[in-house]
């Protein structure tokens, strides 16, 4: 029972740990995908610096072709002027005017642009366009556009799906499929794709258990930092909690084994106790049915001198001890009650005395305060009178010399 209780108390913590580990894995891979895309963008910026030192279009085209052939992920490169017109391409496609294309006007405003992926469901491949603005100082000179095969990026998606029954999807936050890595049973993926599409539109980061047609799944969905992509990964709970279920089976086997052993030991121990008691019962019954002098169980035990007699005597001793203990307890209770009553009365008298003292002190303080206020008023009045007399004296002192001078003039 202890093992079962321990299992159920730790199972929730184990499940939370599994969910946290899987969420951490998906977030790590999400950051890696973001880093891959922005590394390609930085590489494109570097290529633009290389083109800036070329003298003419032929030399620049040679550089574009070399860059495209030297990369396993670049499908084509195109150089646009400051008006959005394609000047040269690394492939044989005709040049076009890209003035109204987001890879031109967004790159001109934001210095770079990463397009939504074009996913081919049949080939299970996708490509993205990455644009980088070219400039000399503060002057805008054009845009370098690269069409990137995203297979190396989505390889990280396949790394995230750790089992053959796992599925993962990448949607734009506008609901366009970017990439997917699905389990072998394609018929069960329709519902998972629908859930992933809904999560991409809601743009939330969520880890939760869900029930699907394919079974109970752990769903982890999170946005890709810096991009308008949303990644959703599905992992069957049966695979995730496989080790936990193995522990569960081991716990049940161990618990059942312990219960069986306890049952057997209990039966043996009970039989060893019940059998002597039953024999004692039969003897006492047979003695009671005899005519003549009837023996009690105590008398029989005294004659046999077995363990029951010792146990009976010990019980008597314990009973006497308990009686004495309860008597002492009752006496202590009465004494305590008397003490409590006496102490309560004493405290009441102290409280009453304190109240009288407080009232007396309060009365004295009020009288003292009244005297202080009267003295304060007298003092303030006296000071004001002294100030007034001082001012009058000053006036007299100032006025007396003027009177003497007037008399002399006359």
Give the pair of three-digit tokens for residue 118: 């074009």
Give the angle 7-9-11 at the CA atoms, nearest 5°.
60
Determine the average pLDDT of the residues in 184-199. Answer: 77
In which band, very low, low, confident or very high, does the pLDDT at 83 lie, cut at 50, 70 and 90? Answer: very high
- How many Å from the N-terminal Cα to the C-terminal Cα in the chain? 130
Give the pair of three-digit tokens for residue 68: 């495209």
Determine the average pLDDT of the residues in 163-167. Answer: 76
| Domain 20-156 shares a fold with domain 161-240 | yes
42, pLDDT greater than 60: yes
Torsion of CA 256, 259, 265, 268, to 10 degrees: -90
4, pLDDT greater than 50: no
Each residue's pLDDT tens digit, 28-41:
777 877 787 888 78
Determine the average pLDDT of the residues in 150-178. Answer: 74
Each residue's pLDDT tens digit, 125-141:
778 888 889 888 788 88
In which band, very low, low, confident or very high, does the pLDDT at 85 lie, cut at 50, 70 and 90? Answer: very high
Give the pair of three-digit tokens for residue 382: 């006296």
* Contact of 215 with 238, CB cutoff 8 Å: yes
**CATH number 3.30.70.100 is the correct assignment for the domain at 20-156:** no
8-state DSSP, 305: -
Stated as kind and residue range, the H or E segment containing 217 is strand 215-223
Determine the 3-state secondary structure of 136 from DSSP.
strand
In the chain, where the domains are located:
20-156, 161-240, 246-294, 297-395
CATH number of the 161-240 domain: 3.30.450.20
In which band, very low, low, confident or very high, does the pLDDT at 312 lie, cut at 50, 70 and 90? Answer: low
Beta bridge partners of 208: 219
Q: Which of 234, 220, 237 is nearest to 20 (CA)?
A: 220
């Amino acid at each position: 029972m202890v093992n079962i209780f321990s299992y159920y108390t730790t199972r929730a913590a184990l499940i939370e740990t599994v969910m946290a580990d899987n969420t951490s894995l998906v977030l790590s891979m999400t950051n890696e995908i973001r880093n891959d895309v922005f590394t390609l963008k930085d590489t494109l910026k570097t290529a633009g610096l290389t083109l800036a030192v070329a003298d003419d279009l032929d030399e620049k085209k040679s550089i574009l072709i070399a860059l495209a052939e030297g990369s396993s992920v670049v499908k084509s490169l195109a150089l646009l002027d400051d008006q959005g017109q394609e000047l040269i391409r690394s492939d044989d496609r005709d040049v076009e005017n890209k003035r109204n294309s987001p890879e031109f006007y967004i790159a001109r405003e934001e210095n770079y642009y990463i397009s939504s992926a074009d996913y081919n469901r049949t080939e299970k491949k996708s490509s993205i366009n990455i644009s980088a603005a070219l400039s000399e100082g503060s002057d805008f000179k054009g845009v370098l556009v690269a069409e990137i095969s995203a297979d190396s990026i989505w390889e990280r998606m396949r790394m995230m799906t750790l089992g053959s029954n796992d599925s993962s999807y990448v949607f734009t936050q506008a609901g366009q499929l970017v990439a997917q890595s699905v389990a072998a049973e394609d018929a069960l993926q329709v519902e998972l794709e629908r859930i992933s599409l809904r999560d991409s539109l809601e743009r939330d980061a969520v880890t939760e258990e869900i029930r699907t047609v394919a079974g109970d799944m752990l769903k982890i969905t999170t946005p890709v930092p810096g991009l308008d992509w949303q990644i959703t990964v599905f992992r069957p709970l049966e695979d995730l909690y496989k080790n936990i279920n193995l522990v569960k089976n081991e716990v049940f086997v161990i618990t059942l084994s312990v219960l069986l052993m306890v049952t057997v030991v209990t039966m043996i121990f009970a039989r060893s106790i019940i059998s002597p008691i039953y024999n004692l019962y039969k003897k006492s019954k047979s003695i009671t049915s005899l005519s003549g002098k009837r023996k009690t169980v105590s008398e029989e035990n005294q004659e046999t001198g077995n363990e029951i007699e010792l146990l009976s005597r010990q019980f008597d001793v314990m009973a006497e001890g308990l009686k004495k203990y309860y008597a002492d307890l009752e006496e202590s209770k009465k004494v305590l009650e008397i003490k409590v009553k006496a102490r309560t009365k004493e405290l009441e008298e102290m409280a009453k005395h304190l109240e009288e003292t407080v009232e007396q002190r309060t009365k004295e303080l009020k009288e003292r305060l009244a005297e202080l206020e009267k003295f304060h008023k007298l003092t303030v009045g006296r000071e004001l009178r002294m100030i007034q007399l001082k001012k009058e004296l000053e006036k007299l002192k100032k006025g007396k010399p003027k009177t003497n001078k007037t008399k002399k003039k006359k």
